[in-house]
Amino acid sequence: MSELLVVKNLCKDEILKNISFTVNSGEMVAVMGPSGSGKSTLLYQVSGMDRGDSGEVWIDGREICALSEDDRARLRLEQMGFVFQQMNMLKNLNLMDNIMLPACRLKKKKSSKKDIEHCAGILMRKMGIEKLAQRKITEVSGGQLQRACICRSMINQPKILFADEPTGALNQGAAQEVMEEFTCLNREGTTILIVTHDSKVAARCDRILYLVDGSIKGELSLVGAPEKEGREEKVKQWLDGLGW
């Protein structure tokens, strides 16, 4: 597999300290760690939402720290998708329009609104929410809304999907449903970097990076590990050994 995301000696405001790691194309990688360890800060740096003090971040062969703010914004729109704990949907738009918004903003696309709507419809069917297209965001459940956020994140066919505690505001059942969708996307080839405090979420990933005080203190590969209970037990034992 080729390296899609490469991070070299990344530092930020004494929060991140010489962070280095790679994410290969097609991988799903989790970042775990105690509160205040720098997990979300790391995600903001490697996605270009913020700029580190030093170090390098390469995405698909481009060093994003060297880009202007406008160029980084365009790169995020074209090649990255985002799913957050706070779902950031616009209240004055229905689910379909929220999902379509990033594609409508991408000026270089020649697609008509009808084409974009068709693409959004395909994504909504895949996520099982096609019947909710005209609903307001206040008229659906948390799990349904987060699945709509996943649709929105995928509308421009990004090369990498960043997720920051995407199940943190959901009950156990909805969280499991949302992770099923992430797993399906990953099996279809989407590269995913996911920040989480939930060991069950992390157990679905190929690798886990463990962050403490701004530094990576451990890494666990789950490639080839037993499914479900076996993977979760392996993660639990590993975290116990790290003093989680």
Range 17-34 average pLDDT: 96
User: 136-145, 207-216, 226-235: lowest mean pLDDT where?
Assistant: 226-235
- CA neighbor of 100 nearest in space, from 22, 152, 158: 152
Sheet containing strand 191-195, edge to edge, reads: 80-84, 160-164, 191-195, 28-32, 207-212, 215-221
- Which pTM does this prediction carry? 0.92
Q: What are phi and psi of 31, to 5 degrees?
A: -115, 120
pLDDT per residue as tens digits for the range 100-148 = 999 998 865 556 888 999 999 999 999 999 999 999 999 999 999 999 9
**Residue 191: partners with Cβ closer than 8 Å, 6 or more residues away:** 4, 5, 23, 24, 25, 26, 27, 28, 159, 160, 161
Q: Is the pLDDT of residue 243 over 90?
A: no
Q: Coil, helix or strand for 107?
A: coil
Residue with tokens 């399906």: 184
Mean pLDDT of the chain: 92
The beta strand positions in the chain, using DSSP E, are 3-12, 16-24, 28-32, 54-59, 62-63, 80-84, 160-164, 191-195, 207-212, 215-221
Give me the sign of the Cα torsion angle 243, 11, 56, 40.
positive
The whole-angstrom separation of Cα 221 and Cα 7 is: 18
Q: What is the pLDDT of residues 145-190, one digit of tens each?
A: 999 999 999 999 999 999 999 988 888 898 888 899 999 999 999 9
Cβ atoms within 10 A of the Cβ of 2, count?
8
Backbone angles phi, psi at 115, to 5 degrees: -65, -45
In angstroms, the CA 155 to CA 124 distance is: 10
